[in-house]
Amino acid sequence: MILCVTLNPCLDKTLSVPAWKPGDSVRGLAVREVVGGKGNNVARALHRTGHAGIRPVTFLGGFTGAHCTRLLKDQDQLEPLAISTKAETRVILTVRTQQSAEQTAFFDPDPVIEPNEIEQLLTTVELELKSEQVRALTLSGSSPCPATHGAFSDLIALAQARGVPTFLDTYGPALDSMWGFWPSVIQLNRREAAQHLGLSRVQDTDLLGLLYKWQQHGVLCSVITNGPDSALAQVRGQYFRVTPPKVDVVNPIGSGDSMLAGQVDGWLNALDAESLLRRAMAYGVANAMIWDAGQLEPATIAELEPRMLVEPVPVPTRVATDVRSGGQPLPGRSQR
């Protein structure tokens, strides 16, 4: 079993429309609904690539939440562990202009999750971990409210107690709230890394310093992505630059989630560092080539894997020295 946790899910509605401009009365041409949220995309990608026992774990509330439960079961063939909330599950409406790459997303406000609902989610995951059937735990996306900021840290602690690898893809308060327990794998993008470091702009040296710092915390694999450009990665003390091939991009949304699913795949198949990174990046690129997040084709992934360029990157001595010196900031880094 693989548990995929999402703290801030949504009903993701895509409305396809003809060309329009603000102020127009626009008649939609088609509507598509999927259950959004980064962990749900991870679950979908793993299920589509043949992994069994994939279970989304998430908060779902109200009419929208009940509809999401039905969609996960009927549309995605997934059995969610859904914690009912007083707050209605949010909706994200994406307006897609047909025959163009233009899309605009409108987000409902984040819900407020009650403390007892958080405890229920933690208890639900802990019970599954005690069954000794869980092979991996993924933790994805934003934290919707202050009460949930520490939930990922608590889940990592629970998983570590059972020897279950954890895969974290988050940012903002949820990442800043990491304490004594760190995941097996961390992934985030360059913008999120800059935010975490308190910088408006980052250089590769800043990112290598962050990867090195996480390595010192015991993180075995960490990746900082940069959209269609090269990613920087650390795997068991080895550092790499991973460059994907150029492809025709249909929709990049969910590519990071699919990449995390690829890391789970590579980890569970005990791939070596370079093969793991190729597989993870191939998952992400394959997602960008389709519209619906996570609806991957294994044949596309297999075709893409050998096209990934994985190059070793030496860690500058200054990076290691700065991190070992007690957390002194790298040049240009603001104090946090």
The CATH code of the domain that includes 299 is: 3.40.1190.20
pLDDT at 292 over 80: yes
| Kind plus residue range of the DSSP H or E element containing 280 | helix 273-288
Beta strands in the chain (DSSP E): 2-6, 10-17, 30-36, 54-61, 81-85, 90-97, 103-107, 136-140, 166-169, 185-189, 221-226, 229-235, 238-243, 309-312
Which residue pairs, CB below 8 angstroms and at least 24 apart, start in 96-100?
96/14, 96/15, 96/16, 96/17, 97/16, 97/17, 97/18, 97/19, 97/20, 98/16, 98/17, 98/18, 98/19, 98/29, 99/19, 100/19
- Phi then psi for residue 207, to 5 deg, are -70, -40
Residue 263 inside a domain? The answer is: yes
The widest CA-to-CA distance across the chain, in whole angstroms, is: 61
Q: Give residue 99's pLDDT band: very low, low, confident or very high (50, 70, 90).
A: confident
Residue 33 inside a domain? The answer is: no
pLDDT at 328 over 80: no
Residues 60/144, Cβ–Cβ less than 8 Å: no
How confident is the prediction for the chain on average, in pLDDT?
A: 92
Give me the percent of the chain exceeding a pLDDT of 70: 94
pLDDT at 331 over 80: no
Residues 296/45, Cβ–Cβ less than 8 Å: yes
pLDDT at res. 324: 55
pTM over 0.85: yes
Residue 42 inside a domain? The answer is: yes
Least confident of 36-45, 185-194, 195-204, 326-335: 326-335
Tell me the three state secondary structure of residue 24: coil
More confident residue, 178 or 54: 54
59 Cβ contact list (under 8 Å, min separation 6): 6, 7, 8, 9, 65, 82, 83, 85, 87, 89, 111, 113, 117, 121
Give me the percent of the chain exceeding a pLDDT of 90: 86
Residues 165/184, Cβ–Cβ less than 8 Å: yes
202 Cβ contact list (under 8 Å, min separation 6): 190, 193, 194
Residue 98 inside a domain? The answer is: no
Residues 85/60, Cβ–Cβ less than 8 Å: yes
Residue 331 inside a domain? The answer is: no
Residues 231/224, Cβ–Cβ less than 8 Å: yes
Residue 107 inside a domain? The answer is: no
Residue-range definition of the domain harbouring residue 125: 2-9+38-88+112-324
Looking at the 3D structure of the chain, how many domains does it have? 1
Give the residue from 70, 99, 65 showing the smallest Cα distance to 83: 65
Residue 300 inside a domain? The answer is: yes
Residue 287 inside a domain? The answer is: yes
Q: Give residue 100's pLDDT band: very low, low, confident or very high (50, 70, 90).
A: confident
